[in-house]
Amino acid sequence: MDEVEKYLAKEKEQLESRKAPEELNERLRLALEQVPPRRKTKAPKWIALAAAIMILSFVSYNYNAFAYYGKKLLGYDELMTETLAQLNEKGSGQAIEKKVILSDGTELYLDGLLTDENQSILYYTVKNPKGVVEESYFDLIRGSWTKAFATYGTSSENEDGTEIKGIQAFEAVSPFAKKLTLEYRYNEGTEQEEITFPYNPKLAMQTELKQSIRKKVHVDQGTIRFDSITATPSRTTIKAKVNVDNFDRIQLGGGGVQLLANGKPVDLTGSSSKSAIFGQDLELYYDRLPKDLDTLELVVDKFAGYQSLNEAIALSGGDDQSEEIHGKKLIIRKIEKGTDGIHVTIATEQDILLEGVSIQSKGKSTPLQTTLRADLLDVENGETYNERVLLFNTDKLPDTFSIEGMHYAKRYGERIQIIGNKKTVEGN
């Protein structure tokens, strides 16, 4: 240890004599007490399964709209959205009231099922006095003409961890199914239980609005074709076909498309996209539509856009060089020599994807070979940055960094009137 380190060690000793004030513990307790209990959310576990059937990406938001029938369900208040709570209040849905005891002694109660043309929602309770098993989830519901995969779910656990109440959504079940079988996976996914129960399709909720849209919107790198809208008491689904280059590469999905009912935005509750022939199928999920509907309008507010740049940035050689390109921030975190070439670490806002990236050293240009790593990092002030490590096949440290263009979340403001007489702006 040298002198400097000795001094630091001494300083540390000094610092260690500082103890937290006695009131700290109480203050922390108070701060925590004021926080409302957290909702436990489960990510859809069917992603792996779905990937096998060509589904490339799925975004799910864990707040949603669903309900239940036959009788009013108790104990789910904390999990329900307003739409859901209203449906529950009305007693929409059907009771299942089925109990299954799993091999580890856990009791699984299926309390009720709410179905409509958009989705199916299962209400369930898991109980175990020794503590509820973690890592359990629903795979799918099957029946005649029915193979409804689980989509999203939310659940909450009681204080001592012996009971979970949850809501799990699935795709819609067929109106021809009289019997449904639910596949439940537990014990870290190693064991499966199948539960069959009768189903009455007549108790499914009526679709409130179903209409084709057939309108196209042009964006920088292609088109979005809006096909149909299906509104049920639990949800509103817009189906679209997207034929846009790199649509999936920026983390926006359908998040920038608004549905305006009577001029007011309807909450977007989720979206999903899967690859299809000539493009991608995109579904956007919104909350229930209001009862009295005068106008209904789709607004493509933000969507994948492209900006050609052809910029060369002179590299300062230091860490964290910050640049502004077309109003967006680009940070060149560091440039270093690796055994496999030059590594350049850059960070951008997450909805930006750079294209045609290369580095130059003394006039000689080297194109990007591959991206070694990409991480989303939360930076302070609430923004998320995408940090990537780029590999270039050269051993010369670069003096410039060139970018041909970027994909980003662009504001379009294109409007499509679905109901109402306002002027329609559309593509052809």
Residue of 82, 97, 135, 319 interacting with other proteins (CB under 8 A): 319
Q: How far is the CB of 39 from other proteins (least distance, A)?
A: 9
Q: How far is the CB of 102 from other proteins (least distance, A)?
A: 19
Residue of 83, 88, 146, 345 interacting with other proteins (CB under 8 A): 345
Q: Are strands 146-157 and 264-265 parallel, antiparallel or unpaired?
A: unpaired
Give just the sign of the alpha carbon dihedral 197, 203, 204, 205. negative
Kindly compute the dihedral angle of the four CA atoms of residues 252, 256, 257, 262, in this order, to the nearest 10 degrees: 150
Is the CB of 97 or the CB of 134 nearer to other proteins?
A: 134
Residue position matching structure tokens 């856990």: 106
With contacts defined by CB under 8 A, how many residues of the chain interact with other proteins? 47
Mark residues 141-180: x for contact with other proteins by CB under 8 A, - for none: ---------------xx-x-x-------------------
Residues 202 and 188: beta-carbon distance below 8 Å: no
What is the C-alpha separation between 240 and 227, in angstroms, rounded? 5
- 324: contact with other proteins by CB under 8 A: no
Is the CB of 15 or the CB of 54 nearer to other proteins?
A: 15
Q: How far is the CB of 92 from other proteins (least distance, A)?
A: 29
- 1: contact with other proteins by CB under 8 A: no
What is the C-alpha separation between 261 and 295, in angstroms, rounded? 6
- 31: contact with other proteins by CB under 8 A: yes
Nearest to 98 by CA among 205, 172, 204, 180: 180
- 413: contact with other proteins by CB under 8 A: no
- 362: contact with other proteins by CB under 8 A: no
Is the CB of 9 or the CB of 56 nearer to other proteins?
A: 9
Is the CB of 16 or the CB of 292 nearer to other proteins?
A: 16
Mark residue 217 as left, alpha or beta (left: phi above 0; alpha: psi -120 to 50; beta: remaining): beta
- 5: contact with other proteins by CB under 8 A: yes
| Contact stretch for other proteins (CB under 8 A) within 26-34, 183-191, 237-245, 258-266 | 26-34
Count of C-beta atoms within a 10 Å radius of residue 270: 25
Q: At 340, which amino acid appears?
A: D
Residues 403 and 357: beta-carbon distance below 8 Å: yes
What is the C-alpha separation between 138 and 179, in angstroms, rounded? 17
> What's the per-residue H, E or C state across 184-201?
EEECCCCEEEEEEEECCH
| Contact stretch for other proteins (CB under 8 A) within 29-37, 110-118, 358-366, 414-422 | 29-37
- Interface contacts to other proteins, rule CB under 8 A: 2-5, 7-21, 23-25, 27-29, 31-33, 35, 37-38, 40-41, 156-157, 159, 161, 319-320, 333-334, 336, 345, 377, 379-381
